[in-house]
């Protein structure tokens, strides 16, 4: 996301500020910050309060992985693979090799860029008994293309090979690899139900944890906005009192959405606060960001969990984070509180979205949401198989 328009003005009340933003920018306008100041006066007693408001529009940038695939290019790529296979089978033959090379030069377009990952070259050392040469060529081509696309998404090679082997041995091996992988992705996502939001969240009392700067507060605002649009009762709780701006940020979101906010100083306060809300109220708990070496923060999160008693705990991780750091964060946090879901943020900041497959495969936790920018509430997606397939392999006609 990028800020394309920005204004700063003064208003007497928050309602006046919200109204002016809507009049200026329409429904896409957002308030970036609200600061209370006092007007100058010779007599301090007569100084009045005013709000200094910054607002603007965030424009959604085009996501490279969501671009439409070029079917003509893919067809030419398949032709090149078949031609290369034929050439390989004729290597070592004294007659006909030169003619084949000339035909390849004439038929293959220079613009086609084929990158075969050498380490995972799936050429079988011995042909399987009972398979024709054409079938072997087809299997080679499909596996090469599948592995190439998976590795291009930065999915670790061992997982790419594992998925292909699962596909080869599955009863659905007659399907295309893409269709099979879409079925396989169902095991990596939250179990769907009649209510998508409740199914993704895992209940009405939800806690979100994760490292500092991963985007937990903004993600909570997006989820709350979806719930408000569906007409649900929502309340925000925050125990993130470490950052000076943290409570102000989530308070701004609560005001915009017209929902209550409860700031928690310690876990012992939570049970009494929960009594204020009916059981069917969606309560989202924001927590302080923490590093996996910060024992005090981990203890605080454990205390919040014990008093909040959530139905689900979502571990937020960034798609741009190093795999080793993600593993350490999940293992450390999971050792203190039981994790229910994985929530991936900042998917718009990387092309290596193989983590959408690698994370649930590694930690045996389903994905719940994927965020793709800062805009509230648009830049959040339910982690369903179709969305994951579009991110990993791109959109295709006739999916």
The pLDDT tens digits for 127-138 are 444 555 455 554
**Better-scored residue on pLDDT, 307 or 140:** 307
Residues 176-224 have pLDDT tens digits of 888 999 999 999 999 988 899 999 999 999 999 998 888 898 899 999 9
Residues 245-272 have pLDDT tens digits of 557 778 888 888 899 999 888 889 999 9
Q: Which of these three, 59, 76, 93, is where a domain ends? A: 59
User: pLDDT class for 111, splitting at 50, 70, 90?
Assistant: very low
Shared domain for 222 and 344, answered yes or no, is: yes
Reading the block at residue 265, the tokens are 């100083």
Distances 107 to 20, 112, 152, 212 between C-alpha atoms, Å = 63, 11, 26, 54
- Structural domain span for residue 102: 84-187
Shared domain for 195 and 162, answered yes or no, is: no
User: In terms of Cα–Cα distance, which of 78, 80, 209 is closest to 145?
Assistant: 78
Parallel, antiparallel, or unpaired: how do β-strands 312-318 and 341-345 relate? parallel
User: pLDDT class for 125, splitting at 50, 70, 90?
Assistant: very low
Shared domain for 210 and 325, answered yes or no, is: yes
Contact in structure between 82 and 108 (CB atoms under 8 Å): no
> 21-44: buried (b, 16+ CB within 10 Å) or exposed (e) per residue?
beeeeeebbbbeebeeeeeeeeee
Residue 154 within any structural domain of the chain? yes
Reading the block at residue 171, the tokens are 């009863």
Residues 305-341 have pLDDT tens digits of 999 999 999 999 999 999 999 999 999 999 999 999 9
Which CATH number belongs to the domain containing residue 307 in this structure?
3.40.50.300
Exposed, middle or buried, 313 (CB in 10 Å: 0-12/13-18/19+)?
Answer: buried
Shared domain for 369 and 243, answered yes or no, is: yes
Shared domain for 200 and 334, answered yes or no, is: yes
The whole-angstrom separation of Cα 56 and Cα 4 is 7
Shared domain for 220 and 351, answered yes or no, is: yes
Distances 377 to 87, 221, 247, 373 between C-alpha atoms, Å = 53, 7, 19, 10
Count up the domains in the chain and report the number. 3
Q: What is the mean pLDDT of residues 362-385?
A: 90
**Better-scored residue on pLDDT, 329 or 97:** 329
218 Cβ contact partners less than 8 Å away, ≥ 6 residues apart: 371, 374, 376
Residue 69 within any structural domain of the chain? no
3-state class (DSSP) for residue 8: strand
Q: Which of 82-91, 179-188, 212-221, 363-372 has the lowest mean pLDDT?
A: 82-91
């Amino acid at each position: 996301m990028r800020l394309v328009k920005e204004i700063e003005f003064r208003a007497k009340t928050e309602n006046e500020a919200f109204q002016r933003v809507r009049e200026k920018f329409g429904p896409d306008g957002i308030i970036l910050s609200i600061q209370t100041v006092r007007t100058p006066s010779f007599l301090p007693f007569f100084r009045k309060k005013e709000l200094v408001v910054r607002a603007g529009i965030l424009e959604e940038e085009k996501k490279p992985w969501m671009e439409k695939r070029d079917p003509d290019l893919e067809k030419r790529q398949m032709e090149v693979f078949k031609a290369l296979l034929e050439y390989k089978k004729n290597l070592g033959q004294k007659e006909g090799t030169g003619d084949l090379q000339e035909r390849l030069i004439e038929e293959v377009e220079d613009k086609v860029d084929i990158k075969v990952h050498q380490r995972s070259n799936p050429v079988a050392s011995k042909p399987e008994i009972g398979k024709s040469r054409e079938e072997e060529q087809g299997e080679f081509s499909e596996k090469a293309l599948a592995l190439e696309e998976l590795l291009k998404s930065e999915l670790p090679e061992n997982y790419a090979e594992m998925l292909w082997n699962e596909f080869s041995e599955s009863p659905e091996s007659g399907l295309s690899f893409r269709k099979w992988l879409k079925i396989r992705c169902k095991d990596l996502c939250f179990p769907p139900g009649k209510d998508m939001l409740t199914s993704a969240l895992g209940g009405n009392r939800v806690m979100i944890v994760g490292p500092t700067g991963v985007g937990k507060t903004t993600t909570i605002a997006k989820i709350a906005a979806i719930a408000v649009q569906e007409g649900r009762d929502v309340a925000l709780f925050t125990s993130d009192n470490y950052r000076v701006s943290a409570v102000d940020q989530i308070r701004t979101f609560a005001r915009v959405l017209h929902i209550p906010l409860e700031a928690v100083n310690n876990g012992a306060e939570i049970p009494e606060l929960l009594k204020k809300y009916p059981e069917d109220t969606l309560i989202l708990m924001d927590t302080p960001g923490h590093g996996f070496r910060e024992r005090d923060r981990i203890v605080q999160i454990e205390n919040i969990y014990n008093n909040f008693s959530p139905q689900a705990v979502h571990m937020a991780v960034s798609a741009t984070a190093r795999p080793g750091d993600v593993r350490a964060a999940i293992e450390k946090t999971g050792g203190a509180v039981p994790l229910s879901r994985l929530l991936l943020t900042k998917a718009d900041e990387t092309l290596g979205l193989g983590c959408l497959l690698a994370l649930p495969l590694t930690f045996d936790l389903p994905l719940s949401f994927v965020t793709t920018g800062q805009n509230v509430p648009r830049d959040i997606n339910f982690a369903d198989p179709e969305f994951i397939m579009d991110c990993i392999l791109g959109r295709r006609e006739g999916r």
